A and B are shown apart, each in its own frame.
Chain A
Amino acid sequence: MIEPVIDVRDLTKVYQMGEVEVHALRGVSMQVMPGEMVAIMGPSGSGKSTLMNMLGCLDTPTSGEYYLEGAAVSDLNDQGLTSIRRHKVGFVFQTYNLLSRTSALANVEIPLIYGGVPRRQRRQRAIEALEMVGLGDRLHHQPNELSGGEQQRVAVARSLASEPAIILADEPTGNLDTRSGKEVMAVFQQLNRERGITVILVTHDPDIARHAQRIIWVRDGLVERAEQVGDRILADDSQGSEEDKGQAVAVAALDASGTFEEVAS
């Protein structure tokens, strides 16, 4: 039995907006197996970005448990969270968030700087990452010299550079035209297939979501349902293979609090 790479149990997040308490997450439970590619969908304000921030250790939950590769994350301090961001997860943002007036190469090197990778090795790994996203000929271009799709691919290379097990992408194609979006998704799929990197992405777009093997719908801070749309590539698939019609809806049980659990049929 393979352990889930991400195991979230009853996660809640409450924001204090002035006088009002905003319940962004009301008790989310979900698991992601190693090598999976999962899309999280839901209307805006459903809490999917909040969930992503929790998964990426950019934010801490109000309550609930989060196990990353079997280790409890929910009670890590700031330093522990920094370490996870540095070594275990790569993050891709909707708005790319590249440093302006800084070459693609230097942008990709940033996480490696904080990972303490020596200079020469850093350069080498950044070049490799950029080649992997098909930008081997754009190393010294600055963001304003690159198209949106290329900028997002630089951002993907940046998330790759520190060789994380998981890449989290928050609306990675949200600012891109269809063609560039497809290019970026192709990169994600390639990384997922060829390198076994677990990819979790948030999207509005059903076409984009279809690239994933599983779709999780979030609504009002709860997991609404989950749907298996493709084969898991590397994960233990012995249970999934028993499902009828290959690409069937995963049998999902929603408990009273809306917690999602995959149940072997």
Chain B
Amino acid sequence: MSRLLESFRIALRGLVANKVRAALTMLGIIIGVAAVIALVSIGEGFSAYVSGELEGLGTRTLFVWTNRDAANPQQLTTADAEALADPLACPGIEAVAPAYQQGATATYAGIETSPNVSGVTPEYLTVQSYDMKVGRFIEQDDVDHRGRVAVLGSTPASDLFPGSAYPIGETIRLNDVPFEVIGVMAEKGSTGPMDNDDVVLIPLTTAQTRLFTVDTVRGDYVVSSINVLVQSEDMLDSTIEDVSAVLRERHRIQPGDTDDFQVRNPSDMVETVTGITTTLTIFLGAIAAISLLVGGIGIMNIMLVSVTERTREIGLRKAVGAGKSDILWQFLIEAVVMSLIGGLLGIGLGTAISQIAGSALDMQTVVSVNSVGLAFGFSAAVGVFFGIYPAMRAANLHPIDALRYE
């Protein structure tokens, strides 16, 4: 043990004697480790960011919309939504919320804004998990009577009524059609590219008949999407099948033909996106690892030079009683110390880079314990792997040959 300590001391002295060389050699490892740490943490941060955004959509929700890649897509209609709501056809469904969505101009007292206007049914509140701030949501009665009532998202509410927390009863105009404000929703934040707060919700029927010009399919009004809330997560798969079966039948799709609609679950998207970002992270990490490998080769190179340079010293040490293992440890420790110091500095540099990148890209980059451990372990392994050959070469030198070396 004490001999190992001595080997350590001798190795450190060797490094200190060649400071510039040791520092340059370490630079290879520093850059390699920093690249691994930074790229992996940025990758993980990005993936966490994206899946966090997507999870905001809710894990029990299914989205149904028209598949525009199909040969002759038949658009979804209100009747489709009603068919899905039948508990005999789709037992797993808790609520169905068809929506018709379009941009419109909203004005009030000379202020103009362009929110997304959605025609919805009362179920929309539950399915999209909005909360009311003041007033009430759209009720079945409003839908039945095509009422000109509007529920404001937090963005148009503060745009149109700056300074007023209670705009209930005021009349706004959507594309010049007057609507009475009946409620304001609490802020929800954005999910992915969608701003859930820059919306104005009106009854579905009002949107289809009074505000916008909407196509009909066999007398039924078209909807842009049908959002479905499933009773529990483990019923997602069976419900997707039920929904597909109902819609295929209604759209008269022959067996073997592709669906003219898509049923998607946000967690599918999370999985897809996470899969992509994970692959990307691994890919970037692997590229960074190559630079670590190159750094390791740098260590081996300099250690070989060092062994050659110190051949006589090795011979002398052996002549006065150093065993093979003493010499082996001396050079191996030198290589490992270089790679470990390089690894530590690299972890520091990589963390700094990932912090800077995180604040520049406005996302949370986390340098995980895993990636630090991995980078540290990997750089130690690089030190051992690339140090062992030069060290063995030194240890196996014949004392006489080594002493005679010029």
What string of 1s and 0s marks CB contacts (under 8 Å) between A75-100 and chain B? 00011001001110011010001010
Write the nearest CB–CB distance from A81 to chain B, whole angstroms. Answer: 9
In the complex, what residues of A have CB within 8 A of residue B326's CB? 114
B132 within 8 A of A: no
> CA–CA, A87 to B323, complex, Å?
12
In the complex, what residues of A have CB within 8 A of residue B312's CB? 97
B68 within 8 A of A: no
What string of 1s and 0s marks CB contacts (under 8 Å) between A95-134 and chain B? 0010101000000001101111010000000000000000
Write the nearest CB–CB distance from B241 to chain A, whole angstroms. Answer: 73
What string of 1s and 0s marks CB contacts (under 8 Å) between B294-327 and chain A? 0000000000000000001101111111111010
B400:A58 contact, CB within 8 angstroms: yes
> CA–CA, A82 to B327, complex, Å?
12
In the complex, what residues of A have CB within 8 A of residue B403's CB? 58, 93, 97
Sorting the interface of chain B by its residue count into under 10, 10 to 19, 20 to 34 or 35 or more gives 20 to 34
Given contacts A53-B400, A99-B316, contact A111 B321 (CB under 8 A): yes
Write the nearest CB–CB distance from A17 to chain B, whole angstroms. Answer: 13
B6 within 8 A of A: yes
| Residue of B17, B320, B324 touching A110 (CB-CB under 8 A) | B320
B399:A118 contact, CB within 8 angstroms: no
B3:A85 contact, CB within 8 angstroms: no
A82:B323 contact, CB within 8 angstroms: yes
Given contacts A99-B313, A114-B326, contact A158 B319 (CB under 8 A): no
B2 within 8 A of A: yes
Within 8 A of A (CB), among B2-18: 2-3, 6, 10, 17
In the complex, what residues of A have CB within 8 A of residue B317's CB? 110, 114
| Residue of B6, B10, B316, B322 touching A97 (CB-CB under 8 A) | B316
A56 within 8 A of B: yes
A198 within 8 A of B: no
Within 8 A of B (CB), among A121-150: none
**Which A residue sits closest to B13, measured CB to CB?**
A102
Name, among A53, A97, A159, the residue most crowded by chain B CB atoms within 10 Å (CB to CB): A97
Write the nearest CB–CB distance from A157 to chain B, whole angstroms. Answer: 12
In the complex, what residues of A have CB within 8 A of residue B315's CB? 97
A224 within 8 A of B: no
> CA–CA, A101 to B319, complex, Å?
20
**Which A residue sits closest to B313, measured CB to CB?**
A99
Given contacts A85-B318, A97-B312, A110-B317, contact A58 B323 (CB under 8 A): no
**Which A residue sits closest to B398, measured CB to CB?**
A59
Given contacts A59-B400, A101-B17, contact A114 B2 (CB under 8 A): no
Write the nearest CB–CB distance from B14 to chain A, whole angstroms. Answer: 11
B2:A111 contact, CB within 8 angstroms: no
Write the nearest CB–CB distance from A79 to chain B, whole angstroms. Answer: 7
> CA–CA, A118 to B399, complex, Å?
25
In the complex, what residues of B have CB within 8 A of residue A97's CB? 312, 315-316, 319, 403
In the complex, what residues of A have CB within 8 A of residue B398's CB? 59
> CA–CA, A255 to B2, complex, Å?
51
A162 within 8 A of B: yes
Within 8 A of B (CB), among A52-77: 53, 56, 58-59
Given contacts A58-B400, A59-B400, A97-B312, contact A85 B2 (CB under 8 A): no
Write the nearest CB–CB distance from A68 to chain B, whole angstroms. Answer: 15
Within 8 A of A (CB), among B107-141: none
| Residue of B17, B321, B400 touching A114 (CB-CB under 8 A) | B321
| Residue of A79, A91, A114 touching B3 (CB-CB under 8 A) | A114
Given contacts A97-B403, A99-B313, A116-B3, contact A111 B320 (CB under 8 A): yes
A115:B324 contact, CB within 8 angstroms: no
What string of 1s and 0s marks CB contacts (under 8 Å) between B1-35 and chain A? 01100100010000001000000000000000000
> CA–CA, A159 to B316, complex, Å?
11
**Which B residue sits closest to A113, measured CB to CB?**
B6
Write the nearest CB–CB distance from A107 to chain B, whole angstroms. Answer: 9
Write the nearest CB–CB distance from A96 to chain B, whole angstroms. Answer: 10
> CA–CA, A93 to B320, complex, Å?
11
Given contacts A58-B399, A113-B6, contact A91 B319 (CB under 8 A): yes
In the complex, what residues of B have CB within 8 A of residue A86's CB? 320-321, 323
> CA–CA, A97 to B6, complex, Å?
21
In the complex, what residues of A have CB within 8 A of residue B10's CB? 113
Chain A residues within 8 Å of B, Cβ to Cβ: 53, 56, 58-59, 78-79, 82, 85-87, 90-91, 93, 97, 99, 101, 110-111, 113-116, 118, 158-159, 162
Known: A53-B400, A82-B318. 9 other contacts (CB 8 A): A82-B321, A82-B324, A86-B321, A93-B319, A97-B315, A97-B403, A110-B316, A114-B320, A162-B320
Chain B residues within 8 Å of A, Cβ to Cβ: 2-3, 6, 10, 17, 312-313, 315-324, 326, 398-400, 403
| 6 intermolecular pairs with C-beta atoms under 8 Å apart | A59-B399, A82-B322, A82-B324, A85-B321, A86-B321, A99-B313
